[in-house]
Amino acid sequence: MMNVCFQCGMYHADKTIDPSGPFAICPDCGYKHPFKQLPLLIVSGASGSGKTTVCQHLLGQVTRLVLLDSDILWRPEFNTPDTNYRDFFETWLRVCKNISQSGRPVVLFGAGVGVPENIENCIERRYFSKVHYLALVCSDMAISDRLQHRPIWRGTREPTFEEEHIRFNRWFMEYDSQPPIKIINTTNAPPGTTAMQVGAWIDKIVRPSD
Ligand SMILES: [Zn+2]
């Protein structure tokens, strides 16, 4: 429960970070809370780009990081486009921050978390040394084909859903800003190959010997 001060007991998500510790400093009493400021890794992409398949491939293979799918916490009360789903992203960063305190960084898989402005503007962002973004992309045809083959209950065969995710997929391909997003094209790649590429990206950021 990192947001509750050990000294004065007040709740603050917006502590001041002193990188020399690093410490999270309580704005009420000045207590310097030592914490682990680890990187956060995000694997994103539109629906149908291959995120879930890659996550399944890497689960149990990559064990020095914690792999999580952001969909597992989704609830109707998070569906607040007027706030740009802020509570959902803050909640995820708080979960990842607390997991990180056990010494293992998180790889978070999900669509919306891959848009840097959704994450970089969050109050909880400060507790990570850096957020690394990767997006899986593929051709419009591949997205469409994959979404049409999902079970009907998921709603991915709806034309509006498909159009939205084709647009989102193109947004990643055209993204040319800061922070950078590493792009991996999955159009013709077998899932195992994509998973290996993502695994290599993870290894580069959090070296196996660390
Ligand atoms: Zn305090």
pLDDT in the model for residue 210:
54
Ligand 1 centroid – CA 118 distance (Å): 28
pLDDT in the model for residue 151:
82
Q: What is the reported pTM?
A: 0.94
Mean pLDDT, the chain, whole residue set: 94
Task: Please state, in angstroms and rounded to a whole number, the distance separating the CA atoms of residues 47 and 53.
Answer: 11
Ligand 1 centroid – CA 16 distance (Å): 12
Ligand 1 centroid – CA 85 distance (Å): 29
Ligand 1 centroid – CA 131 distance (Å): 27
Ligand 1 centroid – CA 25 distance (Å): 8
Q: 93: pLDDT confidence band, cut at 50, 70 and 90?
A: very high
pLDDT in the model for residue 13:
94
148 φ, ψ to 5°? -70, -20
Ligand 1 centroid – CA 159 distance (Å): 52
Mean pLDDT to the nearest integer, 32-58 = 95
- Encode pLDDT of 101-152 as tens digits: 999 999 999 999 999 999 999 999 999 999 999 999 999 999 988 888 888 8
Top-confidence residue, 83 or 153: 83
Ligand 1 centroid – CA 13 distance (Å): 12
pLDDT in the model for residue 29:
97
DSSP per-residue string spanning 82-145: GGTTHHHHHHHHHHHHHHHTTT--EEEE-SGGGSHHHHHTSGGGGGSS-EEEEEEE--HHHHHH
Mean pLDDT to the nearest integer, 88-95 = 98
